[in-house]
């Protein structure tokens, strides 16, 4: 086994030693301790915010080329170390090694993209209505951003929050999710190795009270949060009370519609990827499979066969397709939803139990549940595990109504060979992202990410949309 890491906070450019009262165990093998964890309190939050505020003027006033170069070096280090870091990610979070390496590479590409964006903050020059006056706009950094990140993408999501914040001249205090702080500390170390000035990026490791302290802190100008709706509601209220900026991503109950004219093999492949890869622990996962009556039975039979063949196992086993749940609580939650679905009339056609794996871990069989209705809890609440439900519908209109019939609206997909149906679904689906003949999970880093309804709140993340949250517009007038 690899020796456990002793994690630290990063404040004002230094690793801050602290007591480490808790541990993070490997979800693939709970006999292995991945890291010993510190727990931040009010003093650490105060020190981190103070360091970020002290560094803001120098960082925001630096040449954008300076910021671009540091972000580019960060990207290079992440890409160079993707295999080592990917292994750590898989040990800490539980996703397969291939997925772990791929996520680190994605984080590197996010930093590389925003290295370029640091040089592309555009303003406008417009004609004033007053003779002899020049008028225009410019975008400027906002200040200190608090980033509260989830465990399911423990380096990619910190990257797509931190990279634009830093690129546009802001400073950062970040709190990673409790199960995955090791990847966050690895990112902090790389940023400083790349030459980031002291105080520009600060990391505090702790529980939910640390996040609440950040939300309430007058020295933090904006919060970017990814997590549950229940926590997000409190984040939004806290930011509103003191008029801080807020951006939130809060999950989905994403529909994948399979129409009668779909290519069956393509439909099965898309559903398998969207619903079950990354152990289903993706906010964009295809958790509701809405299938038109004419193809329903063939689709369910074919998908059930593929789901049953997925190998569940240790994340570092090269043959593993589905790793463990991230925590025991998540494992138990997945199993509870399976029980609720069957009690309400659902029929398990694949999975439904705990697999036999040589190492002790938080494993769940990928599970496909047929004969469900839109009103069942399995179709209304986010499970966040390798569990998908099937809803039979009569036609396209019924499928669209079911797809739109939840309080979530993050991602939606349709599998069809009809251009008309595809275009109609894109236009009428109430979701922030719509896929045609693709899994609902899987997005590009240079395009906006976000949803509608209760899935998202505030400006979009990623891509060219990121500047809307991480910069503010200043209008200028000059008499010449």
Q: Which residues are catalytic?
A: 249, 283
Supply 56's token pair.
Answer: 């803001």
Supply 119's token pair.
Answer: 């040089």
Taken in order 365, 153, 94, 334, the sign of the CA dihedral is: negative
Supply 404's token pair.
Answer: 């739109």
Supply 235's token pair.
Answer: 């984040």
Which positions ≥6 away from 280 have C-beta within 8 Å?
287, 366, 383, 384, 385, 386, 387, 388
Supply 262's token pair.
Answer: 């779909």
Is the backbone of residue 295 left (phi > 0), alpha (psi -120 to 50) or beta? alpha
Supply 178's token pair.
Answer: 């409790």
Q: What is the DSSP string of 261-311?
A: TS-HHHHHHHHHHHHHGGGG--TT---EEEEEHHHHHHHHHHHHHHHHHPP
Cβ neighbourhood burial of 280 (10 Å; 0-12, 13-18, 19+): buried
Please state, as a whole number, how many other Cβ atoms lie within 10 Å of the Cβ of residue 112: 19
**What residues are paired with 141 via a beta bridge?**
471
Look up residue 312 and give its DSSP letter: B
Taken in order 396, 401, 406, 409, the sign of the CA dihedral is: positive
Question: Given the structure tokens 């697999």, which residue do they identify?
Answer: 355
User: Are the C-beta atoms of residues 110 and 137 closer than 8 Å to each other?
Assistant: no
The dihedrals phi and psi of 257, each to the nearest 5 degrees, come to -95, 130
Taken in order 100, 440, 147, 137, the sign of the CA dihedral is: positive
Task: Report d(CA 365, CA 308) in Å as an integer.
Answer: 9
Q: What share of the chain is helix, strand, coil (3-state, %, to 5)?
A: 40, 20, 35
Question: Given the structure tokens 């152990």, which residue do they identify?
Answer: 279
Closest residue by Cα to residue 213 from 48, 57, 458, 55: 48
């Amino acid at each position: 086994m690899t020796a456990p890491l002793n994690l630290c906070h990063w404040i004002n450019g230094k690793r801050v030693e602290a007591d480490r009262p808790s541990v993070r165990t490997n979800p693939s093998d709970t006999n292995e301790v991945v890291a010993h964890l510190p727990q931040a309190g009010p003093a650490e939050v105060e020190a981190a915010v103070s360091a970020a505020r002290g560094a803001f003027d120098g960082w925001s006033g630096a040449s954008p080329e300076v910021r671009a170069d540091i972000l580019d070096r960060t990207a290079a280090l992440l890409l160079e170390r993707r295999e080592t870091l990917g292994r750590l990610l898989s040990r800490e979070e539980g996703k397969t090694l291939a997925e772990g390496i791929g996520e680190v590479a994605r984080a590197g590409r996010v930093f590389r993209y925003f290295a370029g964006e640091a040089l592309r903050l555009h303003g406008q020059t417009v004609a004033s209505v007053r003779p002899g006056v020049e008028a225009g706009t410019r975008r400027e950094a906002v200040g200190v951003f608090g980033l509260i990140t989830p465990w399911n993408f423990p380096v990619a999501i910190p990257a797509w929050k931190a990279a634009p914040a830093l690129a546009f001249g802001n400073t950062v205090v970040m709190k990673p999710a409790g199960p995955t702080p090791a990847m966050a500390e690895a990112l902090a170390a790389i940023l400083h190795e790349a030459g980031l000035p002291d105080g520009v990026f600060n990391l505090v490791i702790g529980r939910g009270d640390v996040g609440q302290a950040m939300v309430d802190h007058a020295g933090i100008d904006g919060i970017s949060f990814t997590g549950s709706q229940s926590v997000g509601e409190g984040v939004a209220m806290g930011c509103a009370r003191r008029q801080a900026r807020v951006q939130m991503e809060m999950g989905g109950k994403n529909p994948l519609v399979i129409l009668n004219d779909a290519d069956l093999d393509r439909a099965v492949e898309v559903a398998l990827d969207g619903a079950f890869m990354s152990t289903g622990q993706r906010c964009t996962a295809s958790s509701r499979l809405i299938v038109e009556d004419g193809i329903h039975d063939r689709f369910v039979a074919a998908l059930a066969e593929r789901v049953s063949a997925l190998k569940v196992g240790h994340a570092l086993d090269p043959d593993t397709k589905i790793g463990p749940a991230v925590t025991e609580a998540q494992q138990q939650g997945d199993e509870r939803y399976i029980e609720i679905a069957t009690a309400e009339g659902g029929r398990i056609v694949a999975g439904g139990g705990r697999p036999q794996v040589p190492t002790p871990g938080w494993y769940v069989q990928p599970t496909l549940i047929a004969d469900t209705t839109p009103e069942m809890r399995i179709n209304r609440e986010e499970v966040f595990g390798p569990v998908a439900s099937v809803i039979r519908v009569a036609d396209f209109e019924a499928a669209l109504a079911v797809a739109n019939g939840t309080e979530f609206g993050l991602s939606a997909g349709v599998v069809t060979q009809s251009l008309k149906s595809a275009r109609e679904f894109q236009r009428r689906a109430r979701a922030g992202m719509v896929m045609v003949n693709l899994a609902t999970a899987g997005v590009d880093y240079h395009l906006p990410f976000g949803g509608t309804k209760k899935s998202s709140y505030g400006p979009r993340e990623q891509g060219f949309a990121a500047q809307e949250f991480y910069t503010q517009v200043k209008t200028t007038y000059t008499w010449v």
